[in-house]
Structure 1
Amino acid sequence: MKNLALFDLDHTLLPIDSDYEWGQFLVRIGAVDPVEFKRSNDAFFAQYQAGTLDPVEYLEFALGTLARFPRPQLDAMHAQFMREVIEPALLPQARKLLQDHLDAGDLVCIITATNRFVTAPIAKALGVEHLIAAVPEEDEHGNLTGKLLGSPTSGPGKVTHTHAWLEQIGTPLDGFGRSHFYSDSHNDIPLLSVVTHPVATNPNAALSAHATSLGWPLLQLFND
């Protein structure tokens, strides 16, 4: 029977937060107002770390920023972002963990609260075909409208989106011999709680305490 391996992205497979770093990148290249954008970006990031982030409010902010630029310019900026920020953060230990599951024949998927525009090229660079991420609306020319399609892929939303994806491919969660989910954040406890093999990966303090109390394994992917 086939196994399932789900992975969070930021601070799990990456030692950075791609969403936050994308914002910092926009500031650095002068694409957004440095003072106002950094203030908002930092505030949302602090809310995320504290577990108080309103995902819809944040996604409207992030996608609204993307909508300011025509798609060719966005794609060029993202290619630069990949070269300068993401590629140096694609570390061998994360690649090996993914490859171990792929070599075992597991169905591998990255599931992240970060939007698909930012994360799809990252998943591709990691060699992962399947990605569940917040979906930005596009117009007929491929430009982003600033709106979110569907619901956020964060917190309990990760459970909902995982079940919906598995229904599409024809195998429910309990149809796998083993289901793994690797995450660093207490925000992902809902999905960690429904798989057969939750792994607290580079866990923050809240997740570390929760995982320890339940006997879940802790994996320090970047600090060994």
Structure 2
Amino acid sequence: MKLALFDLDHTLIPFDSGMAWTRFLVARGVLPADAETVYLGYCQQYVDGTLDIHELHRASVAPLASFGMAALRQWAAEFEAQMAPQVPEPMRALVRRHQDAGHLCAIVTATTRFIAEPFGRVFGVADVLATRSLVIGDTLDGGIDGDPCFGVHKLMHVNQWLATRGTRLEALEQSWFYSDSASDLPLLCAVSDPVAVAPDERLRARAIEAGWPILERS
């Protein structure tokens, strides 16, 4: 078996899916007009190391806690339709090449699952490994269900997913992982063919040192 894994934000798509989702909800009047600025502030705190992924997730999801899952599913469908034209054709083609070659494909992202799944459908990738939001009754709790799909936990989520298919990463004939971020180094180092996509400074340095391919955006 051959496996191709893809990060989402700034890899398959050249933007932050959480910001796109926030703007989408602001445009529909679901979130207040300043929600984008608030989200950016949380993201900056996260980058600065003063906010961890659990706190960032709670801050992002909490404003939606008063809405039921049916409303979220409806918004997700509308969001998918709006995002489809914004997905770069070269990245669609990259995914298709792996699919046409018969490779098992999955998106592996720290993004909240209900935001990531619409992109999975746009790319035609059924398997989306993402951070799961805790749902209590019919509403979002704001917390994370289990471990976030981030950093070393991405590797854990991939191994758990492969275990359901009766295999493990190191047993595969060949495996690729495409990512822009040094936070994904645990998974990049675990596959046979890591690929850096428009990488951040730290990942670019590691890719050059290790001789990994680097894909730049045109």
TM-score (norm 1): 0.89
Gaps of 5+ in 1: none
The whole-number CA distance in structure 2 between the counterparts of 1:216 and 1:108 is 20
Give 1:146 shift: 2.5
Q: For structure 1, which segment, 107-116 or 59-68, has the greater mean C-alpha deviation from structure 2 after superposition? A: 59-68
The whole-number CA distance in structure 2 between the counterparts of 1:9 and 1:51 is 21
The whole-number CA distance in structure 2 between the counterparts of 1:4 and 1:125 is 19
The whole-number CA distance in structure 1 between the counterparts of 2:190 and 2:50 is 22
1:65 corresponds in structure 2 to 63
**Partner amino acid for 1:129?**
A
Q: Alignment partner for residue 195 of structure 1, among 175, 188, 191? A: 191
RMSD: 1.9
Q: Does 1:175 align with 2:171?
A: yes
Aligned length: 218
1:100 corresponds in structure 2 to 97
1:24 corresponds in structure 2 to 23
The whole-number CA distance in structure 2 between the counterparts of 1:116 and 1:95 is 20
Give 1:22 shift: 0.9
1:109 corresponds in structure 2 to 106
Gaps of 5+ in 2: none
The whole-number CA distance in structure 2 between the counterparts of 1:110 and 1:51 is 25
Structure 2 counterpart SS, 1:31: coil
Q: Alignment partner for residue 80 of structure 1, among 67, 78, 81? A: 78
Give 1:119 shift: 1.0
Does the C-alpha gap of structure 1 residues 53 and 154 become closer, same or farther in structure 2, counting only changes over 3 Å? farther
1:120 corresponds in structure 2 to 117
Structure 2 counterpart SS, 1:108: strand
The whole-number CA distance in structure 2 between the counterparts of 1:185 and 1:41 is 20
Tell whether the 8 Å contact from 1:51 to 1:187 is kept in structure 2 after alignment.
Answer: no
Give 1:185 shift: 1.0
1:89 corresponds in structure 2 to 86
The whole-number CA distance in structure 1 between the counterparts of 2:51 and 2:93 is 32
Tell whether the 8 Å contact from 2:19 to 2:36 is kept in structure 1 after alignment.
Answer: no
The whole-number CA distance in structure 1 between the counterparts of 2:38 and 2:153 is 24
Superposition pairs of residues 141-220 of structure 1, within 5 angstroms: 141=138, 143-220=139-216
CA deviations on 1:41-97 (whole Å, 9 max, x unpaired) are: 10232345567651111111222223221223222322332233x112222211111
Structure 1 counterpart SS, 2:164: helix
Tell whether the 8 Å contact from 1:63 to 1:148 is kept in structure 2 after alignment.
Answer: no
1:38 corresponds in structure 2 to 36
The whole-number CA distance in structure 2 between the counterparts of 1:145 and 1:51 is 24
Give 1:210 shift: 1.8
Tell whether the 8 Å contact from 1:20 to 1:45 is kept in structure 2 after alignment.
Answer: no
TM-score (norm 2): 0.91
The whole-number CA distance in structure 2 between the counterparts of 1:38 and 1:151 is 26
